Structure 1
Amino acid sequence: MRVVAKFGGTSLGSGDRVERAADSIADAVAADHEIAVVASAMGNTTDELLEDITFEADDTDRAEIVSMGERTSVRMLKAALAARGVNATFLEPGHPDWPIVTNQRGEVDADATRERAAELAERLGETVPVITGFLAEDHDGNVTTLGRGGSDTTAVMLGRYVDADQVVIVTDVEGVMTGDPHVVEGARNVGEITVDELRNLSFRGAEVVAPSALSFKDDELDVRVIHYQHGDLLSGGTRIEGQFENMVDMRESQLACLTVAGRAIRNRPGIAATLSTALYESDINVDAIASGMDSMTFYVDESVAERAENVLHREVIEVGELSSVTVTDDIAVIRVLGGELPNQPGVLRRIVDPIAEANINVIDIISSATSVAIFVDWADREEALDIVQDSVRS
């Protein structure tokens, strides 16, 4: 059997836990299974590294810094496997066999990743690749990251592309429980759950598997979640069934909306690039952009809204045809992703009409070939999320 096993930060949080992980991998190899391993940063290393970046750092430097946690984990785990006589190789961005590639927009390049993963699959059985989770590499060789839940994404994506039989997520919970064992009596493990059920739980705080990771799961790929103390990679835990037809994702933090108005938006070539570049050079990430005849709107994390306003105001002063910049806070975004969803006739109306009927104001809608983003007031986000999920299922 071909298995991709992902070990979370907690399951690698100490030397003893690294040893336990290595034992479970070695046992699976001894039973003639082909194993690929994805490793998260040990413990809370990534959060600690991010907290230590108290200076202005561009995206490339920031990615290189936070990558140190995963880079350490794969070296530890590879050495522990070697001590058990297992032929293992650690892979990180920059390695000639590195599989995860992102494009110029920071999104996974599915074709390039699929091709590299196929090459990796040919060597399974000869060696156990121990792969840094969360990290990726762009076509220029720069380190990039896959965002929240990135190690889960690495594991499920590789599981699909190497044609694995199973992806096993090793974490600090015994799969999905019927309730919080710290709160309710008699909580027990749920043996099976669908991806849609798990997605709904994750939006309500259940941190089991990142919904973004499960978007790579298909019906043929078996995904299980087990506790790191379980010891056996090939049994127990919770089995996740099915696949996403469409995925609904809600951003966890508040956005601010900055709107620049002026005739230059439609009359001056390159003004969109000028405004976007100003934000980029100030290390401000833009979540989404919308444009109109005489305005352009940038959605950014609310924590950087004041800085973004000052950056854009400088451009307003510099460009005579621009009039002003305004800011609106406390905005939520809900995205519907998957397939050719936005190209289906009437899909926007099917999503938006029920929101309007609930007397919820839709601030903005941005659609592309594979997603629809709906922006609403932060206070309305939970009700809007329920409505969108119902509309997608119907």
Structure 2
Amino acid sequence: MRVVAKFGGTSLGSGDRINRAADSIADAVAQGHEIAVVASAMGNTTDELLDEIEFEADDPDRAEIVSMGERTSVRMLKAALSSRGVEAVFVEPGSGRWPIYTDGHGEVDAERTKAAVAELAAELGDVVPVITGFLAEDDEGNVTTLGRGGSDTTAVMLGNYIDADEVVIVTDVEGVMTGDPHVVEGARNVGKISVDELRNLSFRGAEVVAPSALSYKDETLDVRVVHYQHGDLLAGGTDIIGEFENLIDMREEPLACLTVAGRAIRNQPGILADLSTALGDSDINIDAAASGMDSITFYVDEDVAERAENILHREVIDGESLSSVTVDDEVAAIRVTGGELPNQPGVIRNFVDPLSDAHINIHDLITSATSVAVFVDWDDREETLEIVQRQF
């Protein structure tokens, strides 16, 4: 089996943890597996180096300075593997085996990177490359970086390009948890999670796998998250399943837009829950919801709009801070879903500008980490869909 194993900073945070990492790699090699290793900077080295830059430094100098964390890690891990009889070599920017390149815009140069990765992959089985994560090299030979979580990006990208069977992310949590184990009691491991679920969590603060890395995962590449204390690269943890699919979808049936107004209701706990519960208890599905300082809007199937209006009206009558409910019928919803949306600057303008040029009124624009939904008049749905398809 061909495996890319990425060790995060916490999993390399001390000599003992480096020994654990080396043991797990050596065990996998002894079982006949082809292993490529990606190493982050030990502990909080990168942050500590950045904190010490209290002077004006241009991007190339800054990148060279912060690269020292990863450069140290790969040397330490290579030495630990050599002491166990494993044929290993550290790989860093500037070395003959270096595989990750960026273009003039700082983006990954996929063509050049794939060619270099193919050469590196040809050596797997004979040698274990220990590669600096987070770092890249530009056309002029300068060190560049892949941004926060860049070591995850390095690992999953390599896994994709070398046709690996699996990428294993070794970190300080027991896979993906139901909650932060440092904050909530009874947090437990999630056996499987989809890339869409994990990316949404990652963009909302979950520090498990960098969102930028997940865009390189395809259906054939297994990605797994394990705890560094587990000691076995080939079992346990959480499986990340599936891949991002760019999808443009238009809802086939019209929606109704119900807006509940009230005084500063955003600052009043429980109102959104009360209104949603009232609709849910009556088996009314909420397609989408949006809130403002003085209003909450629900989108529901048009054929249940009258019943929904009566339910929400009862809540208005019973609630001291609510003033009225209104209904707007025949609303269309067009959604774009895709893993790369958060990495596309100006993605909202890609919706707004062409629709404005076509004199199409937007009722609402609702975004999440990996999707954008635009709500327009039902009569404008076909033209809106055509515009969105052209843009995406």
Q: TM-score, normalised by structure 2?
A: 0.66
CA contact (8 A) 1:156 1:214 kept: yes
Displacement of 1:244 in angstroms is: 1.3
Displacement of 1:388 in angstroms is: 6.9
Q: Deviations over 1:173-216 (max 9, x none)?
A: 11111122233333211111000000111122111101100101
CA contact (8 A) 2:37 2:131 kept: yes
* Residue of structure 2 in register with 1:37 after alignment: 37
Alpha-carbon distance change, 388 to 224 in structure 1, aligned in 2, over 3 angstroms: closer
In 2: Cα distance, 1:225 partner to 1:193 partner: 11
Displacement of 1:121 in angstroms is: 0.6
CA contact (8 A) 2:10 2:172 kept: yes
Displacement of 1:348 in angstroms is: 2.3
Alpha-carbon distance change, 241 to 55 in structure 1, aligned in 2, over 3 angstroms: same
Alpha-carbon distance change, 84 to 57 in structure 1, aligned in 2, over 3 angstroms: same
In 2: Cα distance, 1:94 partner to 1:224 partner: 30
In 1: Cα distance, 2:368 partner to 2:132 partner: 35
* Residue of structure 2 in register with 1:213 after alignment: 213
Displacement of 1:357 in angstroms is: 2.7
Q: In structure 2, the residue corresponding to 1:153 is in which secondary structure? A: helix
Alpha-carbon distance change, 246 to 355 in structure 1, aligned in 2, over 3 angstroms: farther
CA contact (8 A) 2:196 2:370 kept: no
In 1: Cα distance, 2:2 partner to 2:169 partner: 14
* Range moving further from structure 2, 49-58 or 186-195: 186-195
Amino acid at match of 2:49: L
Alpha-carbon distance change, 6 to 387 in structure 1, aligned in 2, over 3 angstroms: closer
Alignment pair present for 1:189 and 2:189: yes
In 2: Cα distance, 1:15 partner to 1:180 partner: 26
Displacement of 1:107 in angstroms is: 0.6
* Residue of structure 1 in register with 2:284 after alignment: none
* Residue of structure 1 in register with 2:203 after alignment: 203
Amino acid at match of 1:216: Y
CA contact (8 A) 2:91 2:131 kept: yes
In 2: Cα distance, 1:229 partner to 1:350 partner: 51
Amino acid at match of 1:357: H
CA contact (8 A) 1:92 1:98 kept: yes
* Range moving further from structure 2, 151-160 or 199-208: 199-208
User: How many correspondences in the alignment?
Assistant: 278
Higher Rg: 2
In 2: Cα distance, 1:168 partner to 1:114 partner: 20
Alignment pair present for 1:385 and 2:339: no
Q: TM-score, normalised by structure 1?
A: 0.66
Amino acid at match of 1:214: L
Which runs of no fewer than 5 residues in structure 1 stay unpaired? 248-334, 361-383
Alignment pair present for 1:357 and 2:339: no
Identity of aligned residues (%): 73
Alignment pair present for 1:164 and 2:164: yes
* Residue of structure 2 in register with 1:337 after alignment: 340
Amino acid at match of 1:11: S
CA contact (8 A) 1:133 1:154 kept: yes
* Residue of structure 2 in register with 1:88 after alignment: 88
CA contact (8 A) 2:199 2:369 kept: no
CA contact (8 A) 1:355 1:387 kept: no
Please report the RMSD computed on the Cα atoms of aligned residues, expressed in angstroms: 2.8
Amino acid at match of 2:39: A
In 1: Cα distance, 2:170 partner to 2:62 partner: 27
Displacement of 1:336 in angstroms is: 7.3
* Residue of structure 2 in register with 1:133 after alignment: 133
CA contact (8 A) 1:351 1:388 kept: no
Displacement of 1:232 in angstroms is: 0.2
In 1: Cα distance, 2:140 partner to 2:371 partner: 38
Q: Deviations over 1:128-180 (max 9, x none)?
A: 00000000001211111000110000000000001100000000111111122
